[in-house]
Amino acid sequence: MQFKIIGLYAIIILALLRFLIYPLNSALQEKRVLLGEQFESYQIKGQILDRQSKNREEKVVVEKKDFLPHLYEKTIPNFHIQSDILEQVIKIAEKKGLLVLNFEMMDPLSGKNITEVSVSVRLKGKAGAFIEILEDLEKSEKVLGIRSLEITKSEPDHVFYLILSGFKMEI
């Protein structure tokens, strides 16, 4: 009889181990894997943070006189800047065989130190010629930024809509 009771207790203990402890063990294994992944992520983030702190120490200070020749002067009216940008685009587009469909002078975006003066232009022609226009604009004396660019297919050519911005120093 005692043997049966001990056997019954052993079966109950084994059943508890099987249904309570064993699932906890697999959950523990999953948590270990997750912890390992998080630790690896933490190490990578630490390395990135170290690199960023080194880069902050190595920052190069650009003098105001170095970039002033590439910006428009404060005394130049906004519409002169817009007409200068538009004149450059039209001249290069005609040279490259693109057709200027339309343009719009946009309102300037004034900032504390710099004002962004923009013009939107719609061109039609071959993609290669458009890329050449962008390359020529990049070589311009004044810095021009492309704020927006849309390209649509219009057989046999493409239609290019872009917003170009010139920058005027306000200091």
* Tens-place pLDDT, residues 146-165: 999 999 998 888 999 999 99
The pLDDT of residue 59: 61
Residues sharing a CB contact under 8 Å with residue 95, sequence separation 6 or more, in sequence order: none
Which of 158, 162, 160 has the alpha carbon at shortest distance from 85? 162
Check: CB of residue 133 under 8 Å from CB of residue 88: no
Given this model, what pLDDT does residue 62 score?
A: 61
Domain-wise residue ranges, the chain:
1-59, 67-169
Which CATH number does 67-169 carry?
3.30.70.60
| CA neighbor of 150 nearest in space, from 165, 167, 170, 130 | 130
pLDDT one-digit tens code per residue, 53-110: 877 766 666 666 676 778 888 889 999 999 999 999 999 999 999 999 999 999 999 8
Task: Report the C-alpha dihedral over residues 72, 73, 75, 79, rounded to 10 degrees.
Answer: 0
